[in-house]
Structure 1
Amino acid sequence: MCKHTIVKTLGAIACIALLYPACKIPVLTNREANNKTPDSYAGSQDSTNSGSVAWNTFFTDPHLRALIDTAIKNNQELNITLQEIKITRNEIQARKGEYLPFVGVKAGAGIDKVGRYTSQGAGDATTEIKPGKEMPEPLPDFLIGAYATWELDVWHKLRNATKASVNRYLATVEGRNFVITNLIAEIANSYYELLALDNQLAIVKQNIAIQQNALEIVKAQKEAARATELAVRKFEAEVLNTKSLQFGIQQQITETENRINFLLARFPQPIQRDAQAFNKDMLTPVHAGLPSQLLVNRPDIRQAELELTASKLDVQVARAQFLPSIGLSASLGYNAFSPGLLFKTPESLLYSLAGDLMAPLVNRNAIKAGYSNANAKQTQAIYQYERTILNAYIEVANQLSNIGNLEKSYALKAQQVEALTQSISISGDLFKSARADYMEVLLTQRDALESKFELLETQKQQMNAVVNIYRALGGGWK
């Protein structure tokens, strides 16, 4: 085929490709994602956002910071996520290769014997390579050459597929950031729970000492005939009940330590901590900023946005399946029946150049289904994106309200603890002077213990609320 003919053929293919889009492609309706958020949280216009603060600045406890640092290096879920990032990055490389020319080399040798009484055999028998020299029989065949194939990405089908892979890779990176945010929050919450349990254990031991002292007083009064055996037994039972609380708390401490060790990807070992540091001074002031900042700070929102972008590109790729694909193929090499003649030019030289066009014409149901599925997945991604934004805003709003309510509750419970602590000594004095019975003393001690537990629980909830709003604001991954 002469050069002029090849050019005309390729030109005709291009014209057909440009005219083919006139064929009807299904039009699917869709809508744009809504990423608008309220202007503020409860009317606040403060743009200072704690979500942009690094975790090693937000958390001041050195033991907690050491645990978080170890977890970020060793956590198994995080390492699994890192491998997913590598997988999606490799997918980008694969997609890039699809719209670049594929070039290869090949070499071969063979031998062929056809029947003499066939058209080919009869033709070979009458062919003379040289005067008096027939075509060799059997006929060897030697080949060496290069070949190339290339699909012209006229409709950007392959490039859009690559862009979709890039966005999914970036989405996995944001997914890793979201794992880090949740990991830091989970470690901090577990650490504060551990400190609260340590303080509960200390309170129980203090209460045991108080109850033991009350028991000795009752025993002395019984000896003086001022109390009964029933009172002694009641006080003994209360002491035993309080002592039994220690073991339940110790079990919770063990399980909480092991939960932290699991997050740090290590076998059980003691968690270094300072139980005396469990106080409100550990709380870092939190600034929620503006709701619109969630779109930038929250990794899960950024991940959903990237997934949405990838799904839009998938729709374009699926739409391009209706359009014709244009391919080019070429080869260049040497072919001869004798190794000595293999590189004889131009006699043994072979080359080819071809273009082809393929387009779906009849029974396009599979392509239509793929197009509709891509569109449905895009709509899913829109809803998921909007849902993620809504969930993020509600999480922040809930924790802001929680922090305010816990502050008020803590103040009241602190007063309750103070009043009941004073009532212990008052009830003891009244009991000694026979102005109160032993049940009043027991109930007062029990109420005081419960109120101290409730105060510790409220304090732990305050710390958890601070951690949770830091996570809700997208803090920790930067």
Structure 2
Amino acid sequence: MNNTNTLLNKWCWLWFLAMVSLSSCVPTKNVREANKTMPEQYNGQLTNDSLNTALVSWKDFFSDSNLISLIDTALANNQELNIMLQKVNMAKNNIKAKKGEYLPFVDFYAGAEVEKVGEYTRNGAVEHNLNVRDNEEFPEPLSNFSMGLSASWELDVWKKLRNEKKAAVLEYLASVEGKNFMVTQLVAEIASAYYELLALDNQLKIIEQNLEIQQNALKMIKLQKQAARATQLAVNRFEAEVYKNQSNKYQIQQQIVETENLINFLVGRYPQHIPRNSDSFITKRMDAFHAGVPSQLLANRPDIKQAEYELEASKLDVKVAKANFFPSIGITAGIGLEAFKTKFLTETPESLLYNLAGDLVGPLINRNAIKAQYANANNRQLQAVYEYEKAILNGYIEVTNELSNIEKLEKSYQLQENQVEALTKSIDLSVQLFKSARAEYTEVLLTQREALDAKIEIIETKRDQLLANVKVYQALGGGWN
């Protein structure tokens, strides 16, 4: 008997040493670190002032109370954002699930069964000749009642389960940043649609004013025709211009309807009028912008922070995949009561049962699947490195583009102001010259058309300025706090 135990112990030690030896042959692969190096300033930036507009809350960034109300409502009702919030909650619940996996599992059980075995079997023969006590035969059929506690615990020697839990935490933080990034997009989208709506209102107003001028000019040209000072061709040309702008008026009215409905969709409600004040649109001043330094994007932009958390989670996933090469150690235990009659359940120690076992299980032969999982984990980590670097580069370029756009739009707007002023004066002048037969009717038409185009263009430039302000605010990482 002693020889058998000695031989068994030797085999156990040899098996354990073989497992450890195989585990030591785990493949390793080094994935390069992400490159966080950024220029010290944006292209064209004159100073390295660390003051950053991205730190300003969106409620302070936007001064229009109607716009603030729309954004506030959208943050509560927008379906897309609410869907994202549920994903964040699921990521949070996953942390609890992963945390529970490396703690002991304890279960309660209770059971009852009845069994009749054949008499001409080993169990049947034994039971037939067995007495429980004096003058008390073994019951047939045999009932069995049990109750107790069972426990199991996988020892997290290689920190596989803890790393899974840490990765779940990082995935949760990444989902929070993903939600923040969606908030910045939602705020920017509503603000952009709102400014688009104000611009359309002003374009409609300009067209209506221009229609009034053109209709007066049409009356004038008809009178000139009656006095034989103009031809039917001139009358037809003026009428065509009136019809053209009336058609444009309906097109803009349709764009207003669609833009209002877009805002209502983002706000999460059915179509209704969007309250707004469009009168001060063209005179709205652009606030000064502080872009800070490029390195601040790493802390301010939610998409960059999301990519960073996902990169850290992928590093832990590699450790988890590597831990699969090592043997797992498990402990199981149980304690309870068992008897064939319920009255015996409380008789201890006769009805008491317990067990304690430990096991060591590890991959020995054909580890291709584990190797493939480990290789995939390394590839996902490298992919996360590229995603992080891409987010940083994209953020820098977006800010640079919008800063340049703001500067160019400001210069363009100043020139367009001069153009509109000159063409507005030329409308009255062309009419007076035409009345005194010193200008052709085509000059009147051309002047009115150029003046309308210039007024529409300056409204579009003002809109583009406001949109550029919103975009650079978003690009810097503002709008979610």
Q: TM-score of the superposition, structure 2-length normalised?
A: 0.95
The separation in 1 between residues aligned to 2:133 and 2:72, in whole angstroms, is: 83
The AA in structure 1 aligned to 2:77 is: N
Tell me the secondary structure at the aligned position of residue 108 of structure 2.
strand
* 2:471 equivalent in structure 1: 468
The separation in 2 between residues aligned to 1:236 and 1:77, in whole angstroms, is: 49
Query: Given that residues 282 and 459 in structure 2 are in contact (C-alpha distance below 8 angstroms), is that contact kept between their aligned partners in structure 1?
Result: no
Give CA-to-partner distance per residue, 1:327-385, whole Å, 9 cap, x none: 00000011111111111111111000000010001000111111111111111111000
Say which of 147, 171, 185 aligns to 1:144.
147
Tell me the secondary structure at the aligned position of residue 140 of structure 1.
strand
In the TM superposition, 1:64-463 aligns within 5 A as 64-463=67-466
The separation in 2 between residues aligned to 1:36 and 1:14, in whole angstroms, is: 50
The AA in structure 1 aligned to 2:461 is: T
Cα distance 1:180–1:13, how it changes in 2: closer, same or farther (>3 A)?
farther
Tell me the secondary structure at the aligned position of residue 116 of structure 1.
coil
Answer yes or no: is 1:34 the counterpart of 2:35.
Answer: yes
The separation in 2 between residues aligned to 1:442 and 1:107, in whole angstroms, is: 96
The AA in structure 2 aligned to 1:420 is: L
Cα distance 1:380–1:52, how it changes in 2: closer, same or farther (>3 A)?
same
Structure 1 residue 90: Cα displacement: 1.2
The separation in 2 between residues aligned to 1:63 and 1:284, in whole angstroms, is: 18
* 2:25 equivalent in structure 1: 24
The separation in 2 between residues aligned to 1:26 and 1:387, in whole angstroms, is: 29
Tell me the secondary structure at the aligned position of residue 284 of structure 1.
coil
Cα distance 1:54–1:17, how it changes in 2: closer, same or farther (>3 A)?
farther
Query: Given that residues 19 and 364 in structure 2 are in contact (C-alpha distance below 8 angstroms), is that contact kept between their aligned partners in structure 1?
Result: no
The separation in 2 between residues aligned to 1:284 and 1:20, in whole angstroms, is: 68
Query: Given that residues 430 and 436 in structure 1 are in contact (C-alpha distance below 8 angstroms), is that contact kept between their aligned partners in structure 2?
Result: yes
Query: Given that residues 413 and 461 in structure 2 are in contact (C-alpha distance below 8 angstroms), is that contact kept between their aligned partners in structure 1?
Result: yes
* 2:62 equivalent in structure 1: 59
Tell me the secondary structure at the aligned position of residue 180 of structure 2.
helix
Tell me the secondary structure at the aligned position of residue 314 of structure 1.
helix
Query: Given that residues 61 and 282 in structure 1 are in contact (C-alpha distance below 8 angstroms), is that contact kept between their aligned partners in structure 2?
Result: no
The separation in 1 between residues aligned to 2:457 and 2:295, in whole angstroms, is: 37
Structure 1 residue 13: Cα displacement: 11
Structure 1 residue 280: Cα displacement: 4.8
The separation in 1 between residues aligned to 2:337 and 2:372, in whole angstroms, is: 46
The separation in 1 between residues aligned to 2:15 and 2:385, in whole angstroms, is: 37
Give CA-to-partner distance per residue, 1:427-450, whole Å, 9 cap, x none: 111111111111111011111111
Give CA-to-partner distance per residue, 1:405-447, whole Å, 9 cap, x none: 1111111111111111111111111111111111111011111
Cα distance 1:398–1:17, how it changes in 2: closer, same or farther (>3 A)?
farther
Task: Using the TM superposition, name which of 193-202 and 123-132 deviates more.
Answer: 123-132
Q: How many residues align?
A: 471
Structure 1 residue 125: Cα displacement: 2.5
Tell me the secondary structure at the aligned position of residue 147 of structure 2.
strand
Cα distance 1:72–1:98, how it changes in 2: closer, same or farther (>3 A)?
same
- Deviant stretches of 4+, over 4 Å: 11-18
Cα distance 1:180–1:123, how it changes in 2: closer, same or farther (>3 A)?
same
Query: Given that residues 175 and 299 in structure 1 are in contact (C-alpha distance below 8 angstroms), is that contact kept between their aligned partners in structure 2?
Result: yes
The separation in 2 between residues aligned to 1:89 and 1:137, in whole angstroms, is: 54
Structure 1 residue 124: Cα displacement: 2.1
The separation in 2 between residues aligned to 1:100 and 1:31, in whole angstroms, is: 34
Give CA-to-partner distance per residue, 1:28-58, whole Å, 9 cap, x none: 2310011121111234211110001000000
The separation in 1 between residues aligned to 2:118 and 2:23, in whole angstroms, is: 53
The AA in structure 1 aligned to 2:37 is: K
Structure 1 residue 284: Cα displacement: 2.4
Cα distance 1:132–1:123, how it changes in 2: closer, same or farther (>3 A)?
same
Structure 1 residue 14: Cα displacement: 12
Task: Using the TM superposition, name which of 383-392 and 137-146 deviates more.
Answer: 137-146
Q: Which runs of 5+ in 2 are unaligned?
A: none
Query: Given that residues 20 and 323 in structure 1 are in contact (C-alpha distance below 8 angstroms), is that contact kept between their aligned partners in structure 2?
Result: no
Tell me the secondary structure at the aligned position of residue 447 of structure 1.
helix
Query: Given that residues 324 and 358 in structure 1 are in contact (C-alpha distance below 8 angstroms), is that contact kept between their aligned partners in structure 2?
Result: yes
The separation in 1 between residues aligned to 2:435 and 2:419, in whole angstroms, is: 24
The AA in structure 1 aligned to 2:196 is: E
Identical-residue share of aligned pairs (%): 57
Tell me the secondary structure at the aligned position of residue 148 of structure 2.
strand
Alignment RMSD (CA, Å):
1.9
The AA in structure 2 aligned to 1:234 is: R
The separation in 2 between residues aligned to 1:133 and 1:263, in whole angstroms, is: 81
